[in-house]
Structure 1
Amino acid sequence: MNGQLMRPFTRVIVFLLFFLAVPLRSSGIDPDPVENFITRLDRRVPELLLRYNVPSAVVAVIHEEQTYSRSWGLADLKSARLPSNTTKYNVASISKLITAWTVMRLVQEGKVSLDAPVQRYLSRWKLPPSKWNREVTVRRLLSHTAGLSMAAVPQYGQTNLVPSLPAMLSSKEPVRVVEQPGHSFKYSGGGFAILQLLVEEVTKQPFARYAELAVLKPLGMVNSTFKVPEENDTNSATPYDKNLRQLPHYHFAAQGAAGLYTTANDLAVLSRATMTKDGDSSSFPLDLTTIALMRSPAKVAKPDPFGYGLGYSIVPLPVSGSGFGHAGSNDGWTSVLTTIPQSGDAIVVLLNRSDAFPVYRDLMCDWVESVQGKRWPGFCDARSQVWTKEDTAFVDQLFANVTANDPASVILVANSSGVVYRKAFGSRDVQTKTPVTLDTPFYIASLAKSFTAAVTLKLAEEGKWSLTDKIGKYVPSLPDYAKGVTLAQLLSHTSGVPDYYSLIDYANYQGMDNTKAIALLQKRRQLEFPAGSTYKYSNTGYILLASALEKITGKSFKEVLQERLLEPAGIGHTSVYDGSDSAPVDRAKGYKRAEGKYVLSDYQVVTIDGQEYPFRATTYGAGGIYSTVDDVFAMAQVFSSDKVLSVPWVLQAIAPQVLIKESLEIPDTIGAGYGWFLSTRNNVNILWTTGDMAGHKSVIVRIPSLQSTVIVMTSVEGVEPEVIALQIADRIIPKPK
């Protein structure tokens, strides 16, 4: 046995500690590029998870006979369970590598011939009639050169719906020969289903059992299995679709094509075995000659530089040599394993989300560059959104008619290059025609909920409380029916607590503050629906969160906000209007249009018969914040980095905690997170939140995958900032092809 391969994974910990404690290379010597890649992963991976809305990643890197492995994000969004190097992920088509090793074990033992027609070994199923059936050999099935149909094998939601393997192969669209074997590479998951059947027929054992005994255990892949986990298995990650909606663990009749659950550490073991060139391999399931044969490119009449060996995909590297491995993509899962035997380098990336290819693409590009000093052309070309003069002119035109006689608006657009558009229009005070500036504070209404959510999550991250805590623990004055609602339910608008606006007696209105708003709940005898059962927007929920924050910290909401969010995020021109101070004198006042004129409708002032009176509303948590466009942008950035909140907590905020069926301000809404909503636009995920109160309307639209943000803040009723923001976003998001 190769001692390097089977050495216990305690060396992973030793290697990690080495890099944490010892500078890379001696002073005066250039650091190893691969070691630099490894040390950058702690910044790079979280950034990619947040950019592409992927719950978790586990990465293993092999370099100079050392294995580094690390995990990031959340294996399960609902429970906030962290992943580890031993968390199981479904690896989809990487399963084919284990199937290939299993078949080659039989070949090595003389029980199967690579160049024999596969039908020689099958009795439970036969290929549909074709003149080329005898040319469908074991070798060609392993190398995807058999000319077969069924690129992807079917999946099944419940185990009792899984057909037998022969029944699956004979489905409405059966596996069949569609082109002459040996002509070209034609990927076929169905071909590996046939190989699974071959293993079962030759060994007289279930495929999963024989693969475990013949390959997995001898290799030392002790945490790998073809058994599908239970839905709440804490040893496995939870799968999600590209909109972060939870998916079930699917079942496969063709386990050998797509059904393996394994860990990054186990795939690192397989990677080492793949790269083995010499040494003692007596305890390997395969000898060195067989392993080398599996890495040899298959011959086809129509050559392709991106080909296959026996089970392994072969990818030409940008400088010299080839990478050997496989990628995997099932609903809820994305993965890749690539080895470079000539240098002894390998990488494994496991992700628990559908279509998360951009994450492993970017990591693969960085890794290959570190190994070979050059990136793959085309595949790794920088993909950035360029803001053009035409884009600037388009936004300018949207506000071309705004003059000093009109209320204020400010626009900010940012992409991966930074802020690309930032302008102010109109007057902060129409009566005095005082121009608005980029430093003018706007009342941001419900945008404040994102501020409140950030602080609530920060205290949870610090261990001060749990999101599963009941609100009655912190606000004991609540009526009994509301005390059992959790902090998480308040954050996601699933509490059933009625909105206090619906409880106000406006005929006898004497102003509003948080205490009065909470007291209004005594008018009801029950929640509007069972807590956690559905979605309904509630300002009261965030007022309760603000009160709870004050209770647990012993400080005012504005003090907690300053310490936990504003100061760490570099937000310096934001204030809380809680009645302890006056509203900012230089604020943009809010207006409505009546009879062709602008009438003051400012949140802090109400106009009755032409007279201005104090509105006397000092609620906060759900609103109550004045902020500038730059500060709002800085707050939005909190949810796209780990500057204030660590990645697991940001992921909980932006993941849909509840699905939404109703139509909201931004169309195609999927669900609500904590302080944010998730929608799709041209098949691209966007995160957004809005604010609307007495003349003040604002919106933030974030496009994480494109590292872009659009903020529109206005101070007049009738303007639709959501429409404007989406018009701008449509210039950023690529058009569907």
Structure 2
Amino acid sequence: MGQKMDKSKLDSTIAGYYKDPAAPGISCAVSQNGRLIYRYAIGRADLKEKRAITSSSHFRLASVSKQVTAQAIYTLVIQKRLKLEDPLSLFFEDLPVALKDITVAQLLQHTSGIWDYEELIPKERKDQVSDKDVLKYIRQTDRLYFPSGSQFRYSNTGYCLLSLIVEHVAKKSFASFVKSQLFEPIGISKGLVYEPGTTVDERVYGYHPTEGSYLFADQSVTSATQGDGGVYLSADEYHTWANFLVKDRLIQPGLEQLFDQMAYPVKDGIAYHFGWFIQKNAGHKILFHSGESTGFHHIVYIDVQKDLVVSLFSNRDDFMIGEAFDAILKTMGISKPVLNGQHRSTFAWLNGVYANE
């Protein structure tokens, strides 16, 4: 792939979508066999300071963070401190009856039926919601969308609860657990799970395109939760992380078996588990996920058999990234995940899943 890839053609493809170096932009990277073979960045990380986006700029990853949360859980499974069949009642007191028997596995699969915390936030709330606030909100409702384990419904609530389970079992903050157990051992020293008061080096700020300009849109009431979207990584660090998955975690028989046996069907031949949408195609296991948060849109892709990782991180929350991602795969000679004809792009399909369409 590295020898065949026409880097100048790939440059032109991305530049066709992200043209203005003075606007919020994008960082794209490709690695294969554990080695970065392509980087491209254009645009500004901060319009006020006029800082450029680089491969070391730190983006809030939004739902791309879920794969990190899932691996934090799996670390505890490896350490035999946690079982996937453990129920919520083992970790949290005073739960409504309907929630007590939801399992860790169901949270990972988005099959818990638990309510979206976004629907439970009072309209007058202005302060940012924390993962612990999410737990408080779900304690107020003794009902589910459906019986746990019976169907798929994408849930940020579930991944916030997973971060709290990590804290309960590990007896330390989720951020410190990720840092000490996942990031530092593989050489990620600056990437982190955001906590209030944390300084993010080379931080990228988010923007919302308006007619003729870009509105600063870095934070919202729901953008400070950790388990569902609070990881900050650069493009270079993300590929360190993704290659750790490919060369370590995904080849472990236990995790490989879980992906094969417990991935829950979503639709259109796509399944979900451990923070990834999963497609099996002609002997290849394709993993992909996007992230959508105020000011940010991202998408990541792994072909496990080809040991190939593609990432796009953008600090503007328009849908340009959808067309750009599909065009990048086409330029590289890669078929996008097989999705139905109702959506123009992989990103749009994912957006529909998040909206439970």
Q: TM-score, normalised by structure 1?
A: 0.43
- The aligned residue for residue 128 of structure 1 is none
- The aligned residue for residue 78 of structure 2 is 461
* Cα distance in 2 for residues equivalent to 1:412 and 1:671: 25
* Cα distance in 1 for residues equivalent to 2:335 and 2:288: 20
Give 1:649's match in structure 2, choosing from 241, 255, 260.
255
Please tell me whether residue 674 in structure 1 is matched to residue 274 in structure 2. Answer: yes
* Cα distance in 2 for residues equivalent to 1:673 and 1:591: 30
- State whether residues 410 and 713 of structure 1, in contact with CA within 8 Å, keep that contact through their aligned partners in structure 2: yes
- The aligned residue for residue 205 of structure 2 is 589
Percent identity for Structure 1 against Structure 2:
25
- State whether residues 11 and 40 of structure 2, in contact with CA within 8 Å, keep that contact through their aligned partners in structure 1: no
Cα drift, residue 592 of structure 1? 0.6
Please tell me whether residue 693 in structure 1 is matched to residue 299 in structure 2. Answer: no
Segments of 4+ moved more than 6 angstroms: none
Change (3 A) 1:695 1:617: closer
Please tell me whether residue 405 in structure 1 is matched to residue 22 in structure 2. Answer: yes
Structure 2 unmatched runs, 5+: 337-357
The residue type equivalent to 1:636 in the other structure is A
Relative contact order higher in (CA < 8 Å, ≥ 6 apart):
2
Give 2:43's match in structure 1, choosing from 419, 422, 426.
426
* Cα distance in 1 for residues equivalent to 2:106 and 2:275: 12
Q: Which structure is larger by alpha-carbon Rg, 1 or 2?
A: 1
Alignment of 1:422-501 (within 5 A): 422-501=39-118
- The aligned residue for residue 230 of structure 2 is 624
- State whether residues 111 and 148 of structure 2, in contact with CA within 8 Å, keep that contact through their aligned partners in structure 1: yes
Count of residues in correspondence between the two structures: 335
* Cα distance in 2 for residues equivalent to 1:717 and 1:513: 22
* Cα distance in 2 for residues equivalent to 1:467 and 1:452: 14
Cα drift, residue 404 of structure 1? 3.1
- The aligned residue for residue 718 of structure 1 is 318
* Cα distance in 1 for residues equivalent to 2:8 and 2:257: 32
* Cα distance in 2 for residues equivalent to 1:568 and 1:693: 28
* Cα distance in 2 for residues equivalent to 1:673 and 1:512: 25
- State whether residues 512 and 619 of structure 1, in contact with CA within 8 Å, keep that contact through their aligned partners in structure 2: yes
Change (3 A) 1:735 1:513: closer
The CA deviation string for residues 105-147 of structure 1, in whole angstroms up to 9 with x for no partner, is xxxxxxxxxxxxxxxxxxxxxxxxxxxxxxxxxxxxxxxxxxx
Cα drift, residue 411 of structure 1? 0.4
- State whether residues 569 and 643 of structure 1, in contact with CA within 8 Å, keep that contact through their aligned partners in structure 2: no
Structure 1 unmatched runs, 5+: 1-384, 607-614, 662-667
Give 2:216's match in structure 1, choosing from 595, 600, 605.
600
- State whether residues 194 and 230 of structure 2, in contact with CA within 8 Å, keep that contact through their aligned partners in structure 1: yes
The CA deviation string for residues 137-179 of structure 1, in whole angstroms up to 9 with x for no partner, is xxxxxxxxxxxxxxxxxxxxxxxxxxxxxxxxxxxxxxxxxxx
Cα drift, residue 398 of structure 1? 1.9
Matched position secondary structure for 1:558: helix
Alignment of 1:549-564 (within 5 A): 549-564=166-181
Please tell me whether residue 512 in structure 1 is matched to residue 112 in structure 2. Answer: no
Please tell me whether residue 640 in structure 1 is matched to residue 246 in structure 2. Answer: yes
The CA deviation string for residues 542-574 of structure 1, in whole angstroms up to 9 with x for no partner, is 111111111111111111112221122222221
Alignment of 1:564-583 (within 5 A): 564-579=181-196, 581-583=197-199
- The aligned residue for residue 11 of structure 2 is 395
- State whether residues 128 and 222 of structure 2, in contact with CA within 8 Å, keep that contact through their aligned partners in structure 1: yes
* Cα distance in 2 for residues equivalent to 1:644 and 1:386: 22
Cα drift, residue 712 of structure 1? 0.3
Alignment of 1:151-190 (within 5 A): none
- State whether residues 88 and 101 of structure 2, in contact with CA within 8 Å, keep that contact through their aligned partners in structure 1: yes
- The aligned residue for residue 658 of structure 1 is 264
The CA deviation string for residues 317-338 of structure 1, in whole angstroms up to 9 with x for no partner, is xxxxxxxxxxxxxxxxxxxxxx
Change (3 A) 1:578 1:616: farther
Cα drift, residue 682 of structure 1? 8.4
- State whether residues 13 and 328 of structure 2, in contact with CA within 8 Å, keep that contact through their aligned partners in structure 1: no
Change (3 A) 1:389 1:525: closer
* Cα distance in 1 for residues equivalent to 2:291 and 2:238: 12
Cα drift, residue 452 of structure 1? 0.7
Matched position secondary structure for 2:246: coil
- State whether residues 653 and 675 of structure 1, in contact with CA within 8 Å, keep that contact through their aligned partners in structure 2: no
Cα drift, residue 618 of structure 1? 2.9
Cα drift, residue 726 of structure 1? 3.0
Matched position secondary structure for 2:40: strand
* Cα distance in 2 for residues equivalent to 1:710 and 1:409: 13
RMSD between aligned residues: 2.5
- State whether residues 329 and 335 of structure 2, in contact with CA within 8 Å, keep that contact through their aligned partners in structure 1: no
* Cα distance in 2 for residues equivalent to 1:477 and 1:556: 21
* Cα distance in 2 for residues equivalent to 1:734 and 1:600: 35
Alignment of 1:194-233 (within 5 A): none
Cα drift, residue 599 of structure 1? 0.3
Cα drift, residue 474 of structure 1? 0.9
Please tell me whether residue 543 in structure 1 is matched to residue 160 in structure 2. Answer: yes
